Amino acid sequence: MKAAVPLCLLWLACAGCVRVHDEPAADAARPVHVNGTLRVATYNTSLYDDAASGLVRRLEAGDDRARRIAAVLQRVRPDIVLLNEFDHDSAHRAADLFQRDYLEQAQPGGGAPLRYPHRYLAPVNTGVPSGLDLDRSGAVGGVGRDHGNDAWGYGLHPGQYGMLVLSRHPIDAAAARTFQRLKWSAMPDAARPVDPDSGAPFHPDATWAQLRLSSKSHWDVPIRVPGGTLHLLASHPTPPVFDGPEDRNGARNADEIRLWREYISAGDQPWLCDDAGRCGGLEAGARFVIVGDLNNDPLDGDGRHEAIVDLLGHPRVLRQAPSRSEGAIGAAAKYAAEGIAHRDAAAHATGDFGDRVGTLRLDYVLPSTGLRLAGSGVYWPESTTPAGALVTASDHRLVWVDVAIEP
């Protein structure tokens, strides 16, 4: 389902169990970015497996995709990065292996070994059985896609498509907030899916009352950086596809994005309660960066585009030109020759999604006011360059910004 976008919105578009890994030693290879700024990035790594513990087994055996993902990170060298689609396991074995055997080892085509003394990861909703018939198939759970469709978030096993934050700077775990279990119905004026044939809600009232908003989770991860505290607001909303005419995934994607708009807005917001029972949004004046694969392009593809456009235009989000790359231009030109054209500027895309979709802008790093922007980019070299093969490890590309906290 595609939503019409008013011209004013188009103008804006253009402008739980938690474990924290901490080691106090500094990374001797840390680069000094321009004017002492921090490099913050998001990267959908596609490091997932359809089998439980499958990613762990691949990383233990040696995984080419993981090597190329690590090589990209070694080239860009972010200070703080959110990895989307990194399978979560209860022992955090995959995170340990990726750090030790991939990031801390020089990779072909990469740079010097890269060490992150601090990390944050927590459970997600994907693959966790709900015990409900969420897709209205007439049966609850099952195997394969049937299991995934009735999980709190689509996944073939708990933790599939998880999230991982890596940081050079200390993480304040005690102050971190997660919204894994926040009920969708708690959000005022929630976009409850409706069956267009009957006009009735798609989910029965008893089911709707239990549905979780976040398809993975929403995290507020405070990080102690030079100049103060930076709140990393991390998420990975569901793709607005793989549903039916009720557009339940399109509605959920829009409200998952809206959660961040509500979180950074003024007001008490007593409905906005985290998994520890603390309610309310982010305090006024706090500096933040919203990061993640938000699965919504401001102009193209499926989805309710006004959701991302409204987030880009929020008064607390720093105005900035979209990050760009030469590789995106080349990829879009190839698709245009095949008849796939988009309205947004080709250079702004952050991923290549194949012959039916082409390129889209889905991945975002959005600094707040109170931060100074020193640069940004999408790591997407032209396909003819030696580094061009590295980025094909994922259908998404790494997006980064360089920021500093204003005094």
> Tens digit of pLDDT for each residue in 138-178?
999 999 999 999 999 999 999 999 999 999 999 999 999 99
Rg, Å, the chain Cα set:
20
Q: What pLDDT does residue 34 have?
A: 53
DSSP string, 53-108: THHHHHHHH--HHHHHHHHHHHHH--SEEEEEEE---TT-HHHHHHIIIIITSPPT
Q: What pLDDT does residue 407 have?
A: 76
Nearest-angstrom CA–CA distance, 159 and 87: 6
Residue 6, token pair as written in the block? 């008013």
- Residues of the chain with confidence (pLDDT) below 50: 1-30, 32
3-state secondary structure of 17: coil
Q: What pLDDT does residue 155 have?
A: 98
Structural domains of the chain, with CATH: 38-124+159-405 (3.60.10.10)
**If you average pLDDT over every residue of the chain, what do you get?**
92
> Tens digit of pLDDT for each residue in 216-261?
999 999 999 999 999 999 999 999 999 999 999 999 999 999 999 9
Q: What pLDDT does residue 22 have?
A: 42
Instruction: Please give the model's pTM, rounded to 2 decimal places.
Output: 0.93
Q: What pLDDT does residue 209 have?
A: 98
